[in-house]
Amino acid sequence: MDVWALILRTGLYGGVVLTAGSAMLRLTLPIAQSSGFSRALTRQTAAGAVLVVLSSAGLVWLFLLAIAGGDAVLALSPEFFAIALQTPVGQAALFRVVGVVLIGLAAFAGSRWLMLIPAAILLLSFGWEGHSLSFGPRLVSMGLVMVHVGIMAWWLAVIPPLIAAPRSERNRMGHAFGRQALFAVPLLLLAGVVLLGLFTGWRFDLTQAYQQRTVIKLIAVSGILALAAAHKLLLTGRPGFLWALRVEAALAVSILALTAWLTATGPDM
């Protein structure tokens, strides 16, 4: 696949983690508005919004170039932009831009519940394009993609503010998140397995490269999430907790890249 497409899609996932993931954390954790944790969430939401817009624009640009046969002038014409908006790629990009704008407005209004709607729009954008268009019942596939991406975003989004927060706040939030994450692991794994079944017609064949990569990703993500939950429950308050979070942050980047690669390659036919 194209290297730029992989970079942009990884950036897109990262941006959604920082925006939608932060919105979901505000709903699930007891966060004081004046806390360092809350300020860190606000900063990463703003950074994620920029990342989502830039990555979405870049992916649409690559799509326009592809359908224009590499002609940059033709790709930038109003006619081709109109064509893009009639495709799942263009519509998903529009959802993402609308989603981050609405998250910004909800944050400005100070309503954490209002942020849930644009967060759902961001997650919906991943079910609006890609594999869910071609495999399995559309609504089921879209819903499972939203659950799968949503749990990943929620988990990864907690790492930077935990690292940045003062020790006492880090310990309190880490323990609260760890208890919740224990319930998220089986749900993430279940959604991933059902999606794999839908995308392959329930014909599991580990000789196929796509299925091998997906199984590796499911095992890796579920294992790391379970380990992360254990870290937050067992290491909270101990000297090794901050280092465990830094290791999680490094692993998170590889998980985002692997997810972007799987999304772009698609099942074997």
pLDDT in tens, 177-230: 888 887 887 887 788 788 877 877 777 777 777 667 777 777 777 676 776 667
Return the DSSP state at 69.
Answer: T
The SS3 of residue 70 is coil
Residue in the block written with tokens 């329930």: 202
Q: What token pair was written down for 37?
A: 């944790």
* pLDDT score at 269: 41
Contact predicate 53/83, CB 8 Å: no
Kindly give the residue spans of alpha helices, DSSP state H, lying in 129-166: 138-157, 159-164
Q: In whole numbers, what is the pLDDT of the chain averaged over residues?
A: 84
CA gap 3, 135 in Å, rounded: 26
Q: Which pTM value belongs to this model?
A: 0.82
**What percentage of the chain reaches a pLDDT higher than 70?**
87
Query: Does position 238 have pLDDT exceeding 50, yes or no?
Result: yes
Quick count: other Cβ atoms within 10 Å of Cβ 222?
A: 18
* pLDDT score at 207: 74
Residues 6 or more apart whose Cβ sits within 8 Å of residue 37: 31, 161, 162, 164, 165, 169, 170, 173
Residues 6 or more apart whose Cβ sits within 8 Å of residue 115: 23, 26, 27, 103, 106, 107
Return the DSSP state at 32.
Answer: -
Reported as a single tens digit per residue, the pLDDT across 104-152 is 999 888 888 899 999 999 999 988 886 555 566 778 888 888 898 898 8
Contact predicate 128/95, CB 8 Å: yes
* pLDDT score at 148: 84
Radius of gyration of the chain from Cα atoms? 19
* pLDDT score at 26: 93
Contact predicate 80/74, CB 8 Å: yes
C-alpha torsion 230→232→233→239, nearest 10: 110
Q: Mean per-residue pLDDT for 72-78? A: 90
Query: Does position 240 have pLDDT exceeding 70, yes or no?
Result: yes
* pLDDT score at 210: 66
* pLDDT score at 58: 94
Reported as a single tens digit per residue, the pLDDT across 38-66 is 999 999 999 999 999 999 999 999 999 99
The SS3 of residue 165 is coil
Query: Does position 256 have pLDDT exceeding 80, yes or no?
Result: no
Nearest to 260 by CA among 252, 268, 249: 252
